[in-house]
Every structure is written in C-alpha cells, then in structure tokens.
Amino acid sequence: MKRYIALLLAVVMLVGIVPVSAQEAPEGTWLGTWPYVLPPEHDLGSFTASGLAANLGNVYRSLVEMPFAFYMWSSGEYEPMLASEWGFTEDNTAYRVTINADAMWSDGSPVTSADVLATYSIGRIRGWSQYNYISEVRAIDDKTVEFVFSGEPSLVAERLILKEYIVAAANYGELAARADEIVAAGLTRDSEEWAALASDIGAFKPDVLLASGPYTYTLDTVNDAFMTMQWQPNSIFSGSVQFGEIKLWAGETEVTTPLVLSGELAHSTNVYPANTVTSFESAGINLVTIPRAYGPALLFQHDTYPFNIVEVRQAMAYAINRDENAFLTNGIGASGTVYMSGILDDMVTLLLDEETVESLNRYEYNLETAAGLMETAGFTLDDEGKWVDAEGNRISVEYKFPAEFADFSGASQNAIDQLNAFGFDITARANPWQEVAADIRAGNFQLSVWSWAQGSPFATSQFFGPIQRFNYVGLTDGQIGMNFQMEFEYNGEMVNLQDMINNASTGLDVEAQRERAGDVATIINDLMPFIPLNVMLSVEPMNEAAIAGVPDDSDPIWLNPSGVDHPIIWLILQGTLSDAQ
C-alpha cells in the first residue's frame, strides 16, 4: 500500500516539474528562516499587514520583488538589480532610472515604466517619504522613468528611490488608477476617498505573486513549519542564482536553535544568545558577523530631576563601562560605543569630517571624571557611598525596560548595576515591551532603554532614533516622550536641533553634509540627551556543510548591515553561494 502511494506521489511530483523546462532550475536548496505570518493570515500582498513585507523580511523579499539597486556599504556604490542605469539629471531637477531591458515578471511580461508609475501612485496614498522630496513620477519611455524633485535634489531621496520595491501594474493597476484620479481631483489625505483607497490598498491580496526576482511562491507551499519559494526562469538573475528553491522555516530564535544545531537550517538572521552561539560553534557550524546598525540606548526623561542637569548625564556616560555592558547585552554580538555621537561607529569617519571626529568626547570609562562632574552638579557622596544633592536627596529613580528582549534587558540590568555601584539608587522594572514603548512615548518613565541609530548610510536617519522618534517632536497626540527640548541656546547662539537633524543630509554636496552632521553630532556628544550604550552585531550561523562559496571574513560585503542591505541578498543573486551538497 505504502509503496503505491509513494509511486503515486513520485508521478505527481514529476508531472509538476515537467512544464518548467525552458531553462533548467538549479538543483540546490537554500535552508533559511524567517518568522513569516502563518496561514490563514498569510497573503501575497505587497502593501498588506500580513503580506510580503511581513512574510519574507528584507532579505527574501528582495529575491522576489526587486528594487532598482543594491547598496554596497564598503564603497558607497549602488549595484544594479532591476535598473540598468540611474542618476541625477544634468540640471539636478530630477532623478532618472532606466529599467533593465531584460527585466521580466514571472509571467513573462516585461517590467516597464508603467509598473514603476503604478507603484508610486500607490506610494503617494501610502504616505511614502519619497514624496517629501519628489513631486511626481513620469515615464520618459517604456523603460525610463523620472522622479521630479519638488525642492533640492537629495542623496537621501536617491536611496529611497533605488531601494523601493517595484510592484506589477498587472496586479496593482486598478488601485493605482484610482489613486491617480483622487490626486487629479485635488483631494488630500483627510478626504474620505483617500482614506477609503488607503484602506483598500491595505486589504488588497493578489491571487498570484508576480515576481521580478528569481523566486516566487504560492500559498500552497506555506505551512506552519516552513514555506518554500520556487525558482522561476524569467528574472534577470534566474541564470545566476544557484538555488532551485528557498526553504524558509517559520519561527524566532528559540524555535530555530535546534534546527540550526541539527543542520536543518543553514543560515539564519535571528539574534542568538551568546550561549547558543557557543553551542553552534561546538557543533561545527560557522558564523558570520555583520553589523546590526542599532543598539540599546539609555533614555532619559528630561523633566526628571536630576537628568535635566547636563553634568549628571555626562557623569553617567563616564560611569558605565560600555565594553562590559556590550558583553552583557549580547556576548560577542555587541560592542561598546566608541564615539558617542549618535552616528554608528563604523560610519563616523564617512559621515563626519576628521576635525569633528577628533573633537568628539569618547567618554572613556572613568569613575573619577564622573565623580568630578557629579560634584560640579552639586552632589556629594553620603556615608553609604550614594550621591546626594544639597537637600540630601538621593537619586532614587526607576528604570523601565522590556523584559522579553533579552539583549535590551541585559544592557539595562548591567547599566543599572554599574550606576548603582557608582552611587545612584536605581530600581529596575521589567515590563512587557508593548507597555515599555507606550510608557516611553507618554513620558511616563524616568530612565528606560530603546534602540538608537538604524541601518541607513545617512546621518539624518541615524540621528532619528531616539531623539526624534521618542521625543515630543516625533510623537502625536501630545505625547512628550523624552521631552528633550530641541530649541535651546548652545555656545551663545540659538539652535534648533530638530531642523539641524532634518537638514543634515539634504542636497548633493557630501562635504556640506559632513559639516551639518558634524554640528549635530557635536551637540549630541556634548549634551548626551541619551547614552548610546553599545552597537549590536548580527552573529549569523552559516553552515558550510550546506552552503558553499561563503566569502571569507575579510570580504567587504560583510560590512553591509542586516536589514535592506543584507549581504545574503547579493550573494544569492550573484550566485556566489551555492548548495554544498
């Protein structure tokens, strides 16, 4: 009986494979993982809450729905994906992109300007930040589009344009047409029609996924244990990739750990605790380390005495040994912040000029300096070695942190230990992360922790969190967050830090950008509105028994951080990686 069934199955599978014969699918299988949305919520929408963005993450989405280009952090150059040529127009009023002549959707139809236009019509309704820089998108010809700047041309806009995923007009044409009508009718965001369309876009689930990348999948292959993406022959990269299918296991760190150990999973982007990394190594599994481009920052609520005193904040920066803190955050998967500027340490030399970098205070761990600052601020040590102010009050505050984020809670507990040893009186309070985030936004905290910086090569974006994201300037509904005042007198002149951050990366002049970013970095470095404790690294298992061709550690591709510029995207597309079996 069983044999017949096996035979039957074999026949069914053969029948399934035969039609794909125009070009042979490569044989290997990539064994990855992503915590995709489980069925039945799982859908194939590009703009739905449980669609491609949630299901494939940044890494695997780029293999299905390609953007124009891939960014290399080591060189600052873009590599072609969907586009073949790109650049500012000569008069710098627009950005021009030419789509690769061979680019096709998985149904065999070409990728054209119409697809880009449809994408951006929907993007306008979705409130994309590209529209902060551009006013319209127009087709020059079938394969060329121009993004017309509304104001200054911008390198930030360039990145936004080149990294945006382009969707197929075949699926989204109707919605795009409605969007164009609404915009043409002069309706705005507050109109009912706009809201209705936004809601429809968010709910539209195409039946078939039209892929521009070399892989695609159907809902049938999505299971609650794993999903499988199949190779398709019509992409520009279909000839170069070495994997015939991409198998993604569902689940987060805890779930995938045994799979990595048993070799069922070859590569994973999850954050594994230090101890698990050791287990991987002893099981003979190689590791690659790439930047994660964010880390935990100690947040102050600036209405809370004494954190409104700049010397106290500086003293705290001196009093925390950040290397120790990094180790307790994520073992070797984190390193103490060096420059304390609000800019990722790797990027400091690129985004700031030499002079500024030299002038930055590195707050190297020094309890004496810290004590000196405390005394300047009017504090003295009492009999029990705790700091008290003139009225004899100790610094008795509460530190809220998200209990279930092992890395942030490790960073927090260690920061509290170190500060208490220095003479503070901090109580720890671990809450569910949703409550911590809500409390930070509401300003209902004294000390807390959240991430700083992000994986973008621009100073503006790196400065954004937490000083804008969790401050009154970035919040709605009258929430105050950290309540760090962005307009103040600095060195004898009034500055508006909010505007300074927003303008840090505008324009095309890299030198001028460095200077503007430098001004912001200097102020953050001096005032310490938050303490960037450390930067996290992504230590990712890479089982070389299953994957061949992994570049060695010195390869510049590993400078790309996890996220939209994850090295794996490029290594798979280029065919650098292949199945070792």
Partner 1 sequence: MIGVSSVGLVIGLVCGGLALALGIYLKQLRPGITGFIVCTIAGFGCSIIGGLIALFVMAAVIISHAYVDRQDPFTSRAKLEEVDFSETTAQSTMRRLANFGNTVRVSWGALVRNKAGFIGFLGVTFFLAMSAFGPLFIEYEGSAQFSRRVDGARSLFQAPSAEFPLGLDWQGRSVLSHVVYGGRILIVTSIQAGLAATAVAVLFGSLAALMGGWVDGILSALANFILTIPQFPLLLVLASVIQFTDPIQMALLFGFLNWPTLMRAVRAQVLSLRERDYVEAAFALDLGLWHIISREVFPNMVSYIAVNLIFTVRTALYGLVALVVLGIVPLQEPDWGVMIFMGRSQGALFSQEAIWMMLGPILAIALFQLSLVLFSRSLEEVFNPRLRSGL
Partner 2 sequence: MTSIPTPRPVAAAPRRSPGQVLRRLWDSYSFRVLIQSLVTIWAVTTFTFVLIRLMPGNPIQIRIDQLMNRGLTFEEAEQQAANLFDFDPDAPILEQYVDYIGKLARGDLGNSILGGGTPVNSIILEFLPWTLFSVGLGLLLSFLLGTLLGVIIAYRRGGFLDNFITTVSSILYGIPDYVIALLLILVVGVQLQWFQVGQMRGAYNPAIEPGFTLEFIASIFQHAILPVGTYILSTTGSWVLAMKSSTLSTLGEDFITVAKARGLSETRILSAYVGRNALLPLVTRLAISIGFVVSGSVIVEEFFQYPGLGRRLLRAITERDYTTMQGIFLVISISVVAANALSDLLLGWLDPRVRVGKGRGR
* Rounded distance between C-alpha atoms, residue 142 and residue 529, angstroms: 50
Report the site for partner 2 in 465-504 (rule: CB under 8 A): 469, 474, 476
Residue owning tokens 């840090």: 504
Report the site for partner 2 in 108-147 (rule: CB under 8 A): 126-129
**Which is nearer to partner 2, 205 or 386 (by Cβ)?**
205
The answer to whether the CB of 566 falls within 8 A of the CB of 560 is yes
* Omega cis (within 30) before 40: yes
* Rounded distance between C-alpha atoms, residue 32 and residue 160, angstroms: 27
Number of CB atoms found within 10 A of residue 192's CB: 8
Among 76, 385, 432, 556, binds partner 1 (CB under 8 A): 432
Q: Which stretch binds partner 1 (CB under 8 A): 128-136, 276-284, 299-307, 350-358?
A: 276-284
Kindly report the CA angle at 151 between 79 and 136, in degrees rounded to 5?
A: 70
438 near partner 2, judged by CB under 8 A: yes
What, of partner 2, partner 1, none, does residue 226 touch, CB below 5 to 8 Å by kind?
Answer: partner 2
Please give the size of the binding site for partner 2, defined by CB under 8 A.
Answer: 60
53 near partner 1, judged by CB under 8 A: no
Among 23, 393, 434, 496, binds partner 2 (CB under 8 A): 434
> Secondary structure of 513-547 in the HEC alphabet?
HHHHHHHHHHHHHHHCCEEECEEEEEEEEECCCCE
Eight-state DSSP code of residue 349: H
What, of partner 2, partner 1, none, does residue 49 touch, CB below 5 to 8 Å by kind?
Answer: partner 2
The answer to whether the CB of 249 falls within 8 A of the CB of 256 is yes
556 near partner 1, judged by CB under 8 A: no
**Shortest gap between Cβ of 414 and partner 1 (angstroms)?**
5
Locate 144 and state its tokens. 């060329």
**Which is nearer to partner 2, 12 or 101 (by Cβ)?**
12
Among 11, 203, 508, 545, binds partner 2 (CB under 8 A): 203
* Rounded distance between C-alpha atoms, residue 464 and residue 75, angstroms: 24
Number of helices followed by number of strands (H, E) in the chain: 19, 24
Stretch 214-253: interaction string toward partner 1, x if CB under 8 A = ---------------------------------------x
Q: Which residues contact 524 (CB under 8 A, 6 or more apart)?
A: 340, 341, 342, 463, 467
**Shortest gap between Cβ of 328 and partner 1 (angstroms)?**
5
Please give the size of the binding site for partner 1, defined by CB under 8 A.
Answer: 31
Among 134, 277, 285, 521, binds partner 1 (CB under 8 A): 277
386 near partner 2, judged by CB under 8 A: no
Parallel/antiparallel/unpaired status of strands 493-496 and 487-490: antiparallel
Among 430, 480, 559, 580, binds partner 1 (CB under 8 A): 430
Q: Which stretch binds partner 1 (CB under 8 A): 105-113, 141-149, 221-229, 320-328?
A: 320-328
Closest CA to 66 of 309, 237, 198, 201: 237
Stretch 392-411: interaction string toward partner 1, x if CB under 8 A = -----------xx-x---x-
Report the site for partner 2 in 33-52 (rule: CB under 8 A): 37-41, 43, 45, 47-51
**Which is nearer to partner 1, 277 or 535 (by Cβ)?**
277
What, of partner 1, partner 2, none, does residue 327 touch, CB below 5 to 8 Å by kind?
Answer: partner 1
Parallel/antiparallel/unpaired status of strands 530-532 and 295-300: antiparallel
* Rounded distance between C-alpha atoms, residue 71 and residue 561, angstroms: 10
- The 8 Å CB, 24+ separation contacts for 186-193 are 189/127
Residue 69: beta bridge partners?
80
Q: Coil, strand or helix: which one is 189?
A: coil
Report the site for partner 2 in 250-309 (rule: CB under 8 A): 250-251, 255-259, 262, 264-265
Residue 87: beta bridge partners?
96
**Shortest gap between Cβ of 126 and partner 2 (angstroms)?**
6
The answer to whether the CB of 359 falls within 8 A of the CB of 370 is no
Closest CA to 147 of 68, 72, 245: 68
**Shortest gap between Cβ of 420 and partner 1 (angstroms)?**
8
Q: Which stretch binds partner 1 (CB under 8 A): 153-161, 413-421, 467-475, 500-508?
A: 413-421
Q: For 97-121, give one letter per residue: b (16+ CB within 10 A) or e.
A: bbbbeebbbbeeebbbbbbbbbbbb
Site of interaction with partner 1 (CB under 8 A): 253-254, 257-258, 261, 272-279, 281, 324, 327-328, 331-332, 403-404, 406, 410, 413-414, 417, 429-432, 435
Site of interaction with partner 2 (CB under 8 A): 1-2, 5-6, 9, 12, 37-41, 43, 45, 47-51, 53-54, 58, 126-129, 195, 198-199, 202-203, 205, 221, 223-226, 249-251, 255-259, 262, 264-265, 432, 434-435, 437-438, 441, 454-455, 469, 474, 476, 563-564
